Structure 1
């Protein structure tokens, strides 16, 4: 798990986007920092815990890979 020190004006979705590339990471980020769930816009200097980002593997193979799997 990493840590992140907020800068003035940070929001949950902006922090999530900066770490994971999308705002969908906001939920795990909030869950890792329950003391700050009521904060909408952060002041500078809050230390947040940033959980590891899980990368989901594709559930299907592309057609060109299916041929290799069947061989």
Structure 2
């Protein structure tokens, strides 16, 4: 009797934890989606080693941007 009660308590706690994490993820996603438009239309994200849409990403072995790279992009 005691073991089945503990099993039920553990299952309820596990389901509650998963539900809380899913809710937290949805709230974070919604918050980020609201913040992105506030950054303005001139936002440009550059990441070294990215191939583009559909390409394989990564960055292993790819050198980081230098200050001269940023100045060249700005002009």
Please give the TM-score of this superposition, normalised by the length of structure 1.
0.21
Structure with greater strand share of residues? 1
Structure with greater helix share of residues? 2
Which has the higher Rg, Structure 1 or Structure 2? 2
Please give the TM-score of this superposition, normalised by the length of structure 2.
0.20
Relative contact order higher in (CA < 8 Å, ≥ 6 apart): 1
